[in-house]
């Protein structure tokens, strides 16, 4: 199996990632539920008042980790740029998110209301992706995708 196919499978079957941001008081890490698109961009929804959301607005450089299988030692590490999804794209992202987590029409309306304290959809566009996979690559588990 190719690295890119393994990555697609990992992203399609995982739903929780650890998101790391950096703000004035130092680094922060949190858990968010995500979906991925065909370009390996990761999307989640969070309130704009959350610490990680505020930090993304002031520093878009982020990192993420997705543990696929801890016992089998499979994970994905990503660095990249994160930002709020523009309002003209949120319906597409809401469908993608809803396909994974169920109907989110009430969440869509909250995002479209564009309340400063309300929810938004966020995206992480990867600049580096690294697989750690001791199952498919036992002799060289660190696999750089981009």
CB atoms within 10 A of CB 16: 11
Q: At 9, is the secondary structure helix, strand, or coil?
A: helix
What is the dotted CATH code of the domain comprising 3-144?
Answer: 2.30.110.10
| pLDDT on residue 5 | 95
| pLDDT on residue 72 | 82
Joined together, the tokens standing for residue 66 give 């997705």
3-state secondary structure 64-126: EEEEEECCCCEEEEEEEEEEECCHHHHHHHHHHHHHHHCCCHHHHHHHHHCCCCCEEEEEEEE
| pLDDT on residue 69 | 79
| Model pLDDT for residues 57-85, shown as the tens digit of each residue | 999 999 999 999 778 889 999 999 999 99
CA distance 91 to 105: 9
Q: At 8, is the secondary structure helix, strand, or coil?
A: helix
Q: How many helices (H) and strands (E) does the chain have?
A: 4, 8
Quick check: pTM over 0.75?
yes
């Amino acid at each position: 199996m190719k690295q890119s196919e393994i990555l697609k499978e990992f992203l399609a079957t995982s739903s929780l990632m650890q998101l790391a941001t950096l703000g004035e008081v130092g680094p922060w890490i949190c858990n968010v539920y995500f979906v991925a698109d065909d370009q390996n961009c990761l999307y989640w929804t969070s309130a704009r008042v959350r610490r990680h959301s505020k930090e993304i607005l002031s520093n878009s450089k982020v990192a993420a980790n997705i543990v696929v299988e801890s016992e089998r030692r499979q994970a994905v590490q990503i660095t990249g740029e994160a930002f709020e999804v523009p309002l003209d794209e949120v319906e597409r992202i809401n469908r993608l998110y809803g396909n994974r987590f169920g109907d989110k029409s009430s969440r869509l309306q909250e995002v479209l209301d564009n309340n400063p304290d309300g929810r938004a959809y966020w995206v992480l566009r990867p600049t580096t992706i690294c697989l750690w996979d001791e199952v498919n690559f036992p002799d060289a588990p660190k696999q750089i995708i981009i």
